[in-house]
Amino acid sequence: MWQRMKSQLFRRRQQGRRQSGSDFIKKLFSPQKNKSRPACNMNENSAPMQILFMGKDALWYKVLQQALASQGEVYQTTLDELNGAAARRRYDLIVVDTMDLPKDKIRPTIDRLKKQQVESCVVLASASPTWEPVREALKAGASDYITKSYDPDCVAKYLTPYLPEVKKRNSKR
């Protein structure tokens, strides 16, 4: 897994030159200097979104936080803590990392999420070379899947289509 992540980090280009993996990680974990990303049709009057990331990958959690910083707060949980996290608050968007789920637990996990968070949009993040985990989750009721990327701009681009749908649902309440 580290080799795949390392190759993704080295493929990233910035300002016409290759960026090393350590430079990319330093940039990722450095505090943001009030750098505002354009909000995806979000006005100042709307409440910030509640986004849940279910997975153990700390680096991807940080990427997700940066990608969706202008949209709302991102919370992290694991499979073991999922019941408590889903009961504590209502989430607008739930991103599930399929790499942390055993193949036989994907469908029951998505079913449980859809029962507890009926109006939430569930999106899978998958870096798997096979399509079986994604197929199982889509059968269980997940909205869609995205390719797991370590580029915040790329993740924001992948998740942007789901944000207006979530905001539209929230405005009806």
pLDDT higher than 60, residue 108:
yes
CATH of domain 2-11+46-165: 3.40.50.2300
Least confident of 74-78, 108-112, 164-168: 164-168
Give the start-to-end residue ranges of the domains of the chain: 2-11+46-165
pLDDT higher than 60, residue 14:
no
- Average pLDDT of the segment spanning 129-134: 79
- Average pLDDT of the segment spanning 121-141: 83
pLDDT higher than 60, residue 7:
no
Task: Give the whole-angstrom CA distance, residue 53 versus residue 130.
Answer: 22
pTM above 0.85, yes or no: no
Percent of the chain with pLDDT over 90: 1
Any idea what the Cα angle at residue 46 is, between residues 44 and 47, rounded to 5°? 115
Question: What's the full length of the chain, in residues?
Answer: 173
Tens of pLDDT along 42-89?
334 456 788 888 888 889 889 988 988 888 788 888 777 776 777 778
